[in-house]
Structure formats: C-alpha cells, structure tokens
Structure 1
C-alpha cells in the first residue's frame, strides 16, 4: 500500500473519486458536489486557512487501485484551548481493511504530531461543525444535507485504533403529517405574541443586517461554551451567496426583545434529495436537472442546521415561539413532509428536551471521537451544558467533566 499526499489535479480527482468507489450502488449515499469538498481545501474559499492549515492523502494498493483517503487539519483558534493541543482528521473513507485504515490514521497522526499536536478529533471538518462532522453509527438511512454518511464498519476502525467518544450527536426527525402537542402550541403562541418580543425572517435585501444579528447572538450564546471561537462574517456571507438559489428566506428566523437580537433559527431545504441523483457533478446537464427538481418540489424534507438563544432569554420559551412562526410558514409549503432537527450534542440536554417536546424522534447518531496520542493522559468527554442559564464564567466552571 502506498500513501500519496494530494498535491496535483490528478490526485485531487482521485480523492473525490474514492467516495464514489466506496459507496457505489448505495442508494442512501448522496455525494456532495465536488466543488464543495474542494472548497474545504482551498485557501481562497475556506477562511479557516486564516488561522490554520490542512492537507490530505489518498491510499493506493499494490495493484494501483484507490482504496482510501483521509485529511488532517489544525484550527489554531481552538487547538490550544484543550488540555492537549488538538488537531483533527476527516473525510475518511476506506475499504473494509483494518491495516489500510490504520495506515491512514497513522499518516494523519504523524502530520499533526510534527506540528505540535497531542490529540486528534475525528472525523471532523476543517470548518464549522454543521457540515461533515461526526461518524454515523446509528440510522443508516438517507442523511440530511451536510450530515455525513458512512460505512458501518468504520466504527470498529476508529475504536480499535484507540479513538474514544468525545461527544455524541443526535438527529431528530419531525413528521409534519402529525400535529404538534397542543400544550406546546399554547405556550409557543403566548410567547410569540408577548409585548416586547418581535420575530422576523431573513431577507436577502437586508442580508448584512441579519448576518450581524446572527453573529451578535452566536457570540453571546456560545461565549461560555467549551472551546468557543467567534464566527468569521466572511463565512456567513459566502454561505448566503452560495446558497442564494436554494435558501428559503422564510426558513431563517430571528427573535428580538425591544429591538435587541436574542435568538436565531436556520433551516434549509434538504438538497440531498436532489444530490443523490447527481453523483457530485455540477455540469451543465446537472445544473438543469437541479433547477428542474427545485421547481417541481422534489424536496420534501428540510433540515434545521442551527439554533441559538442568548443566555438571558433561554427560559422565556423563545425557541417555542420561533417554531410557532415556522409552522405558519410550512402551512403554505405543503410539499414539506419531514423536518430533520440536527444535530444536537449529548452535552446539550436543554436542546434535546426542546426537540422532544415538539414531537421529534431520534433517528440518527453520529460520534465525534478524540484520540490522545499519550494514552496515559486522562481522557475527558466534552462537558455537559447545565440546564440553567449560564450568565458567568463561574457557572461554567461548575460544569461536570465526564470521564
């Protein structure tokens, strides 16, 4: 077997083709657009290169066949915030061969070690954690856009190599043909109409205003979260530009209290229902096919990608009120039959409670693993977010570490 670092156009193509080889004839797999994956590794496209570095490799067997791939990256904004400096590996794909898998892990580990890292998370993304993050271990069914799909045998590869679960990620599904619990709606409507609170959806015309509001909410809501780092506004602007043909303005909501932004909610049409027909290519004919399926309402599923509420308002039921407004929107978009609520970590019991209160059913589980290069060091799972509001660092220090 031979490891080759991806440095030229041929090997970039090979890196993309490996996923097509691994999932050939698997109808559950929706291949991401090649350009999307390439963008992760392009400093001109990915702002994480401003504060990090990344590379990737392919694995070739003795007969010259492609049998695996992996990427490694360091986000310096987060790497040194852990007990051990921690990098990441991702975009792992491999045939069912443990030696091949371990060689890929060894390669990523060695690259990170040379750069001062003492631990490796995986499989993760060189970017925000709403896309390409975690290993699928339960729910081998079609995934929502951005949620990775994997072979069942990958779990043994990671765990046999020494990776341990850092946190679990759950995706809940909401069947829109079933009504929400009546009690939920009464509370939601009361909050939605309470004086001082206003709700409005995103518009491209005022996109910069909403981008700034989202950043303000995110920074305040996540500032005490483990390993918080601010969002780069350029990332949000790029997502808005790139998604303009797909983003539904009425699927992105903001809540305000006396004019101050206090919560946001982002839901996207699940374009995987179209991508599954396109094999990752966005050539002329596939562009026409994509537009056709958009117009003919092939997409019947949406995915909630992120939701945030500033700590001071986390007990006001603002999340319920946003769901109330969102349900009013979906009443005139009847082709949407299902909503995926993803992903929520096992460290976030409050959000899990919200998802369950609206009737969500846990359908998929992904694991984010961590490997300590020195196995004698104590391993700690990501801390649980307390149910009470977190208004100070003192409260955050009281969070229980999970061994």
Structure 2
C-alpha cells in the first residue's frame, strides 16, 4: 500500500529534488535542473501565483518506505478554462501503472475537494515558459527550463485516461542554413521603410527593454487568456536575474518611430553549462559555471519568445527582424544550432513562421487533460 507524504520539511524537500536524479541516473540525456529553480516555484515569497492560488507537493512511498513517485498539485484561479481546471506538475514515477494511478487518483481527489472539474498536466504552477508539458518525442538533452521524461511516462498518463489537450512543438535549424525566401521578401519590403529600425538589446538599458518587452508581449498575447498578461517590473527582475548569461547580440526588437512593435528573444542554452553542476548552484558551482562558460563554447542558442503586435502581423515584419538579427549574430557569434522553445499546435501562425524559417521538429511535448466527469465531452485547445 502506498502512502502520501506532504513536502513540508528540509528532508522531504531534498527527497523531492533527489528522486528524479536517482530515477534517471542511467539516462544519458537527462540534465538535472537547478534545485533553486524548482524551489523558487514553491516559495510563496518568490512565486506570485500563491497570492490567489494554492499548491502542495507530495512524495509517495511504498511499504518498504522507498520513494516511488512525486507530484505537485495546485489550483491557479488565473488559469482560465471552460471547466474549473487544476494542475499537476513535477510528476515523476517508477514504471508502474498502479503507482501512477494512485498518484493521479490522489491528485484528482485533492482537486475535487477544491471545486475543480478537470486537471491538466504536467504543467507548472506559474507561466508556461518553464517545466510545462510531457516529453513524448525527441528524448535529447532538455533545454534549460524544459521537462525531461522517460518514454514510459506517456503510457502512464494515457492509460489512466488523460487526453492530449494540445501538443507542444519545438523547432530547430542550423544557424548557417539558408534563410527562407519568404523571410527575405519580408525583409526586402520593410527595409524600405525609414520609420523602422532593428535594435539588439543592451545590458545597460534593461529597464527600457523590459518595458518594451511587456508592451509587445501583452498586445501580442492578449487574446490567449490563461494568465498571459505580464508586468514590466517582473520582466525587469527576470532580465536582471538573467544578466550574467544574456548575450546582447542575439535578442532583437523592432521599432516604428521608436514604438516597440516586435521582438525576438534568444539566449544561450544554459543547460550546456548547467549539466556539469548536478542541480546545485552554491559558490563552488558558481565557480564551476564561470569556468565552464569561459572554457566551453556554447554552440546552441534557444528562442524564448517571438512576438509581433497585432497591427504589424502578416506584414513581413518577422522576416525583417529575423534577417537583421541573423546577419548580425552570424558575424559576431559562434553559435551553430538554434532551437525554439515550444509552440502550441493551436497557434498556426507561429508554426508557419517556424516552418518558413525552414526548421524541423526537434521534440514534442504534450499538455494532457483529464475531465473528472467522464460523460462530459473532451475538447482540445481552441485554435488561435
């Protein structure tokens, strides 16, 4: 018989972090996420979603007191859905369906007690930019902030009755591959406009770029719902945290008469350095990180955010931005590989941009949904 244990002590917090590292010790492509990145999600002083939501973590142990699974389960009122939908995330489990079913049943009961009608997972108690989705294809080294799962996780979810709410597609290409003619045509058309300019961000102007980022993001994503609005002060804090690893030459903004209208935000893939730290980031690991950053050339850049305000969409501004940026970082940087953070299959315009960039799908994740009333119809995420 399995028992659930609330994560509420230093010992249980440590086990929550250590269990997946043991589970995946023989997976050559597993990269342990930084402990601090996980713990900040569950710290009410760090995560704004605790202001209105609630979240708890649990370990699951067998009769021999061995950890066989873990999960976080939460209610986020800003996660707006047709049904009242809670979330589960940071799920890890041995390859055993009965164990997984016990965990899923536990989460279902926890959420029903709080008035929920469905659960999505594995998702994050926060924004979609980190630890969102179940890896189902492309079991390569995960990008920084991305989940890694064993292939058997998919059957654990689907055998229980979870259905794919939407797929999350990652696209990649070589930096020096030829840029699509579609983008080159867009660049040619917009390069004639004297009111447009392309600017790469600068560390000494983080506050300005944080406001520009928030303005573009909130306009471009306003129709998505599900907690998509973002505050400039939060962006600035994020930029300040990221400053040691920001590469000024690979993130770009487009302005029309000084007004921000588009952005293309990229960073080096931090996991190419963090994989040497075993999840820790104390002073010794920080020294290791600096040494790795100095001695190990990072050949991979990651696309985090691509946004265009509505009035400039479908006007070739994407091509203008991509070619201006590409010309620059080809001359100034040594990256050879580019991979985009996931795009939902409900977003055909972004998928079209990725395809026009002549990328290939590098990995697929899935956001699953389980409706508690099994007689209710299941609907996939609406198309944008």
On the 8 A contact 1:297/1:335 being kept in 2, the answer is no
Q: Distance in 1 between matches of 2:7 and 2:122?
A: 18
Q: Which residue of 2 aligns with 1:326?
A: 325
Q: Which residue of structure 2 lines up, in the alignment, with residue 65 of structure 1?
A: 66
Aligned length: 383
Counterpart-to-counterpart distance in 2, 1:235 and 1:19: 30
Matched residue SS, 1:172: strand
Which stretch shifts more, 148-157 or 330-339? Answer: 330-339
SS in 2 for 1:235: helix
Kept after mapping to 2: 8 A contact 1:122/1:134: yes
Does the CA contact (< 8 Å) of 2:6 and 2:56 recur in 1? yes
Q: Is the 8 A contact 1:174 1:341 kept in 2?
A: no
Q: Which moved more, 1:203-212 or 1:81-90?
A: 203-212
Query: In the aligned structure 1, how far is the partner of 2:231 from the partner of 2:60?
Result: 34
Per-residue CA deviations over 1:337-374 (Å, capped at 9, x if unaligned) read 10001211111111111111112111111000111111
Give the Å deviation of 1:249. 2.2
2:154 corresponds to 1:151: no
1:317-396 correspondence runs (5 A) = 317-385=316-384
1:35-46 superposed matches below 5 A: 35-46=36-47
**Paired position in structure 1 for 2:11:** 10
Cα deviation digits, residues 35-83 of structure 1 (max 9, x gap): 11000000111122122121110111222222211001121122xx322
RMSD after superposition = 1.6
The residue aligned with 2:279 is: 280
Deviation at 1:301, TM superposition (A): 0.4
Provide the residue aligned with 2:100 in structure 1: 101
- Return the alpha-carbon distance in structure 1 between the equivalents of residues 182 and 39 of structure 2: 47
Partner of 1:330: helix, strand, or coil? helix
- For 1:82 and 1:183, locate their aligned partners in 2 and report how far apart those are by CA, in whole Å: 36
Q: Return closer, same or farther for 1:323/1:85 CA change in 2, 3 Å cut-off.
A: same
Larger deviation: 173-182 or 245-254? 173-182
Q: Is the 8 A contact 1:92 1:123 kept in 2?
A: yes
Q: Which string of whole-angstrom CA distances, capped at 9 and with x for unpartnered residues, describes residues 124-174 of structure 1? A: 011110110110101111121122110101111111111111111100111
Question: What SS does the aligned partner of 1:331 have?
Answer: helix
Distance in 2 (CA, whole Å) between partners of 1:200 and 1:334 is 16
CA distance in 1, matches of 2:233, 2:75: 20
TM-score normalized by structure 1? 0.91
Which has the higher mean CA deviation after the structures are superposed, 329-338 or 170-179?
329-338
SS state of the match for residue 169, structure 2? strand
Whether the 8 Å contact between 2:134 and 2:149 is mirrored in structure 1 is yes
Distance 1:173 1:124 in 2: 23
Counterpart-to-counterpart distance in 2, 1:170 and 1:209: 31
Residues of 2 paired with 1:336 and 1:235: CA distance? Answer: 29
Per the alignment, residue 310 of structure 1 pairs with 309
| Cα distance change on mapping 1:334 and 1:70 into 2, 3 Å | same
In structure 2, what is the Cα distance between the partners aligned to 1:362 and 1:3?
Answer: 38
Equivalent position of 1:388 in the other structure: none
Matches of 2:9 and 2:143 in 1, distance apart?
31
Please state how far the C-alpha of 1:186 moved relative to its aligned partner.
4.2
Aligned-partner Cα distance in 2 for 1:213–1:276: 32
1:178-193 alignment runs, 5 A limit: 178-182=177-181, 184-193=183-192
Distance 1:109 1:192 in 2: 54
Cα distance in structure 2, aligned partners of 1:316 and 1:228: 28
Residues 10-159 of structure 1: pairs in structure 2 closer than 5 A: 10-78=11-79, 81-159=80-158
Per-residue deviation, 1:190? 3.7
Which deviates further from its counterpart, 182-191 or 342-351?
182-191
Aligned counterpart, 1:401: none
Verify the 8 A CA contact 2:189 2:316 in the aligned structure 1: no
Moved more, 272-281 or 15-24: 272-281
Whole-angstrom distance in 1 between the partners of 2:16 and 2:191: 48
Moved more, 232-241 or 246-255: 232-241
What's the CA shift for 1:270? 0.2
List per-residue Cα deviations over 1:169-226 (Å, max 9, x = no partner). 1001111242223553343244245221122122232222221221111221112225
- Verify the 8 A CA contact 2:186 2:317 in the aligned structure 1: no
TM normalised by structure 2 equals 0.95
Structure 1 runs of 4+ aligned residues shifted over 6 Å read none
1:3 deviates by 1.0
Whether contact under 8 Å (1:253, 1:265) holds in the other structure is yes
